[in-house]
Amino acid sequence: MEGNTIKKFIALILSAIMAAALCGCENAQNGENYFGGKGEFSDNDGVLRDDKYIYFGGNLLKKFNTETGTLSIACEIPGCDHNENNPNCKAHGKYFLFNGKLMKKVDEIISNPGGKSETISYLYLCDTGKQVFKNDYPDSFTDEEKKTGSLSIGIIKPLSEDNLALVCSRFMYILDKDFNIKFTISDMGSYSGGIYFYDNEIYYIDKLYRLLKLDETGKATAVNPGSMKITEGEIYGDKLWISNEDQTLCSYDFKSGEIKEHAKNAVKFTFAGHYLEYLKPNYSENENPEVHLFDLDTGENKIWELAGDNTVNLYFIGEKYYIYDGFKDNKLLELSADLSEIQNVYELSD
Ligand SMILES: [Zn+2]
């Protein structure tokens, strides 16, 4: 090839690589899936996995090879800096599974006339790279609400095959399987993750901290638990496990309507497997808070010595419990079944 032709050829290949990297959704080769793993993706308690890797982590996705014990950034683009602010890094963005499809949320920061920058969230299908949703304000929002609002999607919660919840600041959308807006909920708090699916019904916590149930027309009605104000919670079994305005850990039984108190001073919940991890602040003594483990099956409640005095990212993946410390030293710690001991430590490799 002549010099010019070679240059053009290289430019063409580079632009193809760039396009693939920008969309971050190139088709996988050699029978490997999107992240170079094996088999189909599945959702395990909110954690992605396939036959080779488990995937987890905050702003940058990590992958953990369960056979070799290798922990790495979920991006194999050559020369990538894996910076969490680099939109071309494959590990950048929030990945999730909806209706069996691997999807990605990407945030774009744009500068509006007048200098105010704004974050807009988009949803993509990973196998085709197709953009299927661009976030916008609900029609009912006033100009004032739009001016002070945000178009970033804070929490994504796939509720069922035909219900994908997108939690934004003071509003929420429920999308159907074709990514059309099915319900708009505009009486939410700011990025409240209080959206639940139980027995084919959608429930959510509104800005007055009440539990509401949506009917199929999108009309919401308040449900018991009494006059209790719910600040956080999650479903386990037939119960909604909540903290209320008095920071009391309670359970609300969907079937019987019964409300039970389990512990005082319980905030900052993390649910994993059959454990609820929470923080017990010690306001009067001004001492460090205690991290507690509450067994959702047995009701056993104990101080979790291993965690120290701050809540940790606890995961339950493939019948095992893990802690991931993404802030200090990027280590994945595999725990014993009762969470009292560290059994294995895996370090992040390049
Ligand atoms: Zn990367």
- Which has the higher per-residue pLDDT, 190 or 251? 251
3-class DSSP assignment, residue 183: strand
Q: Within its chain, how far is the Cα of 58 from the centroid?
A: 8
Q: From the CA of 36, how far away is ligand 1's center (Å)?
A: 13
Identify the pLDDT of residue 4. Answer: 54
Residue 287 has pLDDT above 90, yes or no: no
* pLDDT of res. 326: 61
Average pLDDT for 176-187 = 95
Residues in the chain: 350
Distance 95 CA to ligand 1 centre (A): 14
Q: What's the 89 CA to ligand 1 centre distance in angstroms?
A: 4
| Separation of CA 264 and ligand 1 centre (Å) | 44
pLDDT at 311: 80
CA of 346 to the centre of ligand 1 (A): 20
- Torsion angle in degrees (nearest 10) through CA of 246, 247, 248, 249: 150
The region that residue 115 occupies, defined by phi over 0 for left and psi between -120 and 50 for alpha, beta otherwise, is: left
DSSP codes of every residue in 92-150? BSEEEEETTEEEEEEEEEEEPTTS-EEEEEEEEETTT--EEEE----TT--HHHHHH--
Q: In what order do the strands lie in the sheet with 331-335?
A: 42-44, 47-49, 53-56, 62-65, 70-73, 342-349, 331-335, 320-325, 313-317
Residue 31 has what pLDDT? 81
Q: What spacing in Å lies between the alpha carbon of 81 and ligand 1's midpoint?
A: 6
CA distance linking residue 98 with residue 177, whole number of Å: 8
Q: What's the rounded Cα separation, in Å, for the pair 272 and 249?
A: 16
Q: Which two tokens stand for residue 321?
A: 């419990």
User: Using one digit for the tens of pLDDT, what is the confidence trace for 93-142?
Assistant: 899 999 999 999 999 988 877 777 889 999 999 999 999 999 999 999 99
82 CA from centroid of ligand 1 (Å):
4
Ligand 1 centroid, distance to 193 Cα (angstroms): 29
Alpha carbon of 83 to ligand 1 centroid (Å)? 7
Give the separation between CA 315 and CA 119, rounded to whole angstroms. 29
Contact 22, 292 (CB under 8 A): no
How many Å lie between the centroid of ligand 1 and the Cα of residue 245?
42
- 24 Cα–ligand 1 center, Å: 10
C-alpha to C-alpha distance for 169 and 52, rounded to whole angstroms: 36
How many angstroms separate the alpha carbon of residue 224 from the centre of ligand 1?
A: 47
In this predicted structure, the answer to whether residue 14 has a pLDDT above a threshold of 90 is: no
The rounded Å distance from CA 349 to ligand 1 centre is 13
For residue 149, the model assigns a pLDDT of 87
Query: What is the model's pTM?
Result: 0.86
- Centroid of ligand 1 to alpha carbon of 201 (angstroms): 39
What does 214-275 look like in DSSP terms, one character per residue? E-TTS-EEE--STTPPEEEEEEETTEEEEEETT--EEEEETTT--EEEEESS-EEEEEETTE
Give the whole-number percent of the chain exceeding pLDDT 90.
59
- Asked if 56 contacts 315 with a C-beta cutoff of 8 angstroms, the reply is yes
User: If you average pLDDT over every residue of the chain, what do you get?
Assistant: 86
The pLDDT of residue 284 is: 76
Measure 249 CA to ligand 1 centroid, in angstroms: 40
Residue type, 255: K
**Segment among 8-12, 84-88, 126-130, 158-162 with least mean pLDDT:** 8-12
Give CA–CA dist 290/128, Å, rounded. Answer: 47
Kind of pairing, strands 70-73 and 342-349? parallel
